[in-house]
Amino acid sequence: MKEKLNIELYKEIYIEELKTKVNIDSQLSLPMNLIVILIGIGLFLFQKHYVNSHNNSLYMLLLTKSLFALFGGLVALSTMYLMKMYLNGFYKYQYLPISTDLQKTEGEFVKSNKDQAKMLKKKTVSNTQINFDAYLRDCYIITSSNNRIVNDERMKTMYLSKLYLMISILLIALIGFLVIQK
């Protein structure tokens, strides 16, 4: 009975990691939309600055160009982290073996336990279930541990992407203030 409880625990952990994967995937659209909007605003302000740049002092011209360069770098950095998050942090998710492989493995346990039972001349039917449950539990542990690492890496890169996006928003607001006040 204790083995069943352990399998259920690891099964729940495995399922939660897959739900986390779906949750992370669903959070991708907001940063993508923000990047597109920020690039559009940045290009609009750059065009406005470029048209009116002949009226500015050298100090103001260097400041706005530097801020535009910093803004472009932050948006590029945010995009890079977002792509890394989308590509699962260059890690791979793992899944349980397919049902036919599980069935084959269970059959191998049955055959192995029958062979042992013949050699020992006793019944070992319950050993088959115990061994298969242990195998299944190990599959749950290995896959959910790997998926946890992938999810943690994706969450970290999502955080960095959002952080650079927030800084970019503040920076584009400052650039907008400097360009429009002219």
Distance CA 51, CA 9 (A): 64
Q: Domain limits at 57?
A: 2-180
Domain count, the chain: 1
Alpha-carbon distance values, 40 to 68, 165, 168 (Å): 13, 14, 13
Give the pLDDT of the chain (182 residues) as one tens digit per residue. 444 557 888 999 999 999 999 999 898 889 999 999 999 999 998 888 777 767 677 888 888 889 999 999 999 999 999 999 888 767 888 888 888 888 888 888 778 777 776 666 665 556 777 888 888 889 999 999 999 999 999 999 999 999 999 999 999 999 999 888 76
pLDDT at 182: 61
pTM higher than the cut 0.95: no
Q: Which residue carries 């088959």 as its tokens?
A: 128
Question: What CA dihedral angle connects 103, 104, 109 and 115, to 10 degrees?
Answer: 130
